[in-house]
Amino acid sequence: MAAIKKVFLYDTTLRDGTQSEEVSLSVEDKVAIAERLDQFGIHYIEGGYPGSNPKDKEFFALGKRLRLKTAKLCAFGMTRRVGKKVEEDPNMKALLSAETPVITVVGKSWDFHVTEALRTTLDENLKAIRETMEYLKKRTEQVFFDAEHFFDGYKRNPKYAMKTLSAARDGGADCLVLCDTNGGSLPSEVAKIVREVRKAIRVPLGIHTHNDGEMAVANTLVAVENGVTQVQGTINGYGERCGNANLVSIIPNLALKMGREVLPKGQMKKLTDLSRYVAEVANLGHWLHQPFVGGAAFAHKGGMHVSAVRRHPATYEHIDPETVGSRRRVLISDLSGRSNIISKFQEKGIEFKTGDPAAERILEQIKDLEHKGYQFEAAEASFEMLVHRTMGTHRPFFKLKGFRVIDEKRSEKETPFAEATIMVEVDGTVEHTAALGNGPVNAMDNALRKALEKFYPELSEVELLDYKVRVIGAGGTGSSVRVLIRSGDKETQWGTVGVSHNIIEASWQALVDGIRYKLWRSRGILPEEKR
């Protein structure tokens, strides 16, 4: 069979993706994501089930005003109710009221579900499928049939599963979508079944897989290899239980590894941005280790790996990171070698001469600090401060003269409050201030900014975005702790780290590195002042 080059992308993030237990999208969120998917080049966007809830009904009302350039909006629904006339079914009316160019209908293809879930006869189910497709096909541009539980149904009763596809075909379906709804099929099973269906039915086929066996992406790819031309999935794999097939992995594999045409030219470079955007709108953290687009996807930690990648990236990278809008990262840790330090210098634009002994000094400091509990993978700003201190290119901007933090709780029912007093010196001028906070770290941060903003007004732009504490070792309340702080301004974000037996001291280290990093970026590098 000749390879079919064109593959159509069908995104169901706005419906199936919202069935993930941690995902809840407002109508505005759904509109924003739909517009972004359209800009990216997705062919079909499933907006939801207009007959199921007011939110989806409102979305489709707004959807009529969307000016999509690439994508077609799809409404999703079920076959007519058992024993009802199709024209009298309120769900059919809701689907048509959405006025979308495409309607996708899900129907039962596993005889077990027909008799146990629908509690009807096998013939009545076939009749419902055919009548639903006929009714909708006459009233909309395209109609797709999602054959729910198709692979499980085919494995147990292949004749009946095929009859459901024939009923949808006879009703005018434009695409028959084979669903691995329970997510338990293996790639070898999917490949075999798709081949057999392809021989028997000439209507275009689609694939819709779930990830309960960690096979959703693999099952989608083998389905395409065997003739499927529409792939359904969600951005970042969001979905019920273990999620749906992850389009963020499927798209580059199809285009870059399998030679399929899936996106307009130049759009692949926007893949990482799309993945992060959807995560942001869904108010979820972006998965660090997500293939292709995660922060760690092209991160190199071992010195031997970094040395090889510097000579030729293909030694430890399966694609050029820029192809999908990602970037190469060199991590600094106790596994680092000299190559990591050199690469990090180059990445940050730090001048470095071959054979400079500073690289060895930095490497030794990093290994010593990591032995004490520091980690620099998520604290690159602290790494840069360490580099500049070692190379004599660091300016501290201020000197600490002392601080005190008081955390007070006056009664069992009252919320505690914190007060920090701080004294710093800037160019010979001593500033002594105090500030309150909802905790000791917040009070200390407020007091430090209050003391410094009159000298450095740009610090008003800095926000503390995240604060994490990790206990190091197993010494109970006397253990060392590692504090990671993520800060940001209008342009970028940065991470800093502090380690101490005292949580306030560890927090101070991370806070100060974050403030100094901001000042270093805004004011430039100057030789370190003599103390």
Q: Quick one: 338 and 425 in the same domain?
A: no
Q: Among the three residues 220, 252, 281, which one is the final residue of a domain in this structure? A: 281
Residues 112 and 242 in one domain: yes
Q: Note the pLDDT of residue 280.
A: 81
Residue 508 located in a structural domain? no
Q: Please report where in the chains the tokens 């006397």 appear, as a residue.
A: 478
The answer to which of 27-36, 319-328, 354-363 has the lowest mean pLDDT is 354-363
Q: Considering its fold, how many domains does the chain have in total? A: 3
Closest CA relative to residue 381, chosen from 527, 512, 193: 512
Residue 354 pLDDT greater than 60, yes or no: no
> Residue 318 belongs to a domain with what CATH number?
4.10.430
Domain presence at residue 525 = no
Q: How far apart are CA 293 and CA 251, in angstroms?
A: 12
- One domain for residues 127 and 198: yes
Give yes or no for residue 529 having a pLDDT over 70. Answer: no
Which of 255, 238, 258, 209 has its CA nearest to residue 40? Answer: 255
* Predicted local confidence at residue 528, as pLDDT: 41
Contact 242, 183 (CB under 8 A): yes
Q: Which residue has the higher pLDDT, 150 or 366?
A: 150
- Tell me the pLDDT of the chain averaged across its residues: 87
pLDDT tens digits along 88-117: 999 999 999 999 999 999 999 999 999 998
219 and 115 in one domain? yes
DSSP string, 302-356: SHHHHHHHHH-GGGT-SS-GGGGT---EE--STT--HHHHHHHHHHHT----TT-
- Read off φ and ψ for residue 209, nearest 5 degrees: -125, 150
Phi/psi at 98 (5° precision):
-70, -25
Kindly report the pTM of this predicted structure: 0.70
Q: How is the beta sheet containing 417-426 ordered, strand by strand?
A: 399-408, 417-426, 429-437
| Residue 310, domain extent | 299-357
Q: What is the DSSP string of 373-423?
A: T---TT-HHHHHHHHHHHHT----S-EEEEEEEEEE--SSSSPPEEEEEEE
What does the alpha-carbon distance between residue 451 and residue 144 come to, in Å, rounded to a whole number?
Answer: 64
Residue 501 lies in a domain: no
Residue pair 149/125 in contact (Cβ under 8 Å)? The answer is no
pLDDT of residue 385 exceeding 90 = no
Q: How far apart are CA 110 and CA 429, in angstroms?
A: 79
Percent of the chain with pLDDT over 90: 62
Lowest mean pLDDT, pick from 424-428, 436-440, 487-491: 487-491
Reduced to 3 DSSP states, what percent helix, strand and coil does the chain have, rounded to the nearest 5?
45, 20, 35
Based on the fold, state whether residues 22 and 137 are members of the same structural domain: yes
**211: its two tokens:** 């990830």
Cβ density class 240-267: b for 16+ within 10 Å, e for less: beebbbbbbbbbbbbbbeeebebbeeeb
- Contacts for 346-354: CB closer than 8 Å, 24+ residues apart: 348/384, 348/387, 350/384, 350/387, 350/388, 350/391
Beta bridge partners of 300: 330
CATH number at residue 234: 3.20.20.70
Residue 504 lies in a domain: no
Residues 27 and 155 in one domain: yes
End-to-end CA distance of the chain: 77
Q: Where are the beta strands (DSSP E) in 49-99?
A: 72-78
User: Which of 23-37, 74-88, 160-174, 337-351 has the least mean pLDDT?
Assistant: 337-351
Q: What is the mean pLDDT of residues 308-328?
A: 75
Q: For residue 197, which of 241, 145, 243 has the smallest C-alpha distance?
A: 145
Contact yes or no for 504/529 (Cβ under 8 A)? no
Q: Which of 389, 424, 455 is the last residue of a domain?
A: 455
- Percent residues over pLDDT 70 in the chain: 87
pLDDT band (50, 70, 90) for residue 350:
low
Residue 268: is its pLDDT beyond 50? yes
Q: What is the model's pLDDT at position 471? A: 85
Residues 350 and 423 in one domain: no
Task: Report if residue 337 sits inside a domain.
Answer: yes
User: Do 210 and 244 touch, CB atoms closer than 8 A?
Assistant: yes
Name the amino acid, one letter, at 304: M
In this structure, the answer to whether residues 247 and 306 fall within a common structural domain is no
DSSP string, 244-271: B-BHHHHHHIIIIIS--B-S-TT-GGGH
Q: For the residues 498-519, what does the mean pLDDT come to? A: 92
Q: Tell me how far apart the alpha carbons of residues 484 and 510 are, in angstroms, rounded to a whole number.
A: 7
Q: How far apart are CA 160 and CA 392, in angstroms?
A: 77
User: Is 416 inside a domain boundary?
Assistant: yes
When pLDDT is averaged across residues 364-384 and rounded to a whole number, the result is: 76
The continuous run of DSSP H or E covering 47 comes out as: strand 44-48
219 touches 208 (CB < 8 A): no
- Cα–Cα nearest to 343, from 293, 383, 372: 383
Residues 310 and 407 reside in one and the same domain: no
Cβ neighbours, 10 Å, residue 130: 22
Q: Does one domain contain both 49 and 75? A: yes
Q: Is 191 exposed, middle or buried (0-12, 13-18, 19+ CB in 10 A)?
A: middle
Is residue 499 a part of any domain in this protein? Answer: no
The domain boundary residue, chosen from 413, 438, 455: 455
- Residues 181, 314, single domain; the answer is no
Whether the CB-CB separation of 222 and 191 falls below 8 Å is answered with: yes
CATH number at residue 449: 3.30.160
Looking at the domain assignment, is residue 462 inside a domain?
Answer: no
Is residue 234 a contact partner of residue 284, using CB atoms and an 8 Å limit? no
Residues 12 and 93 in one domain: yes
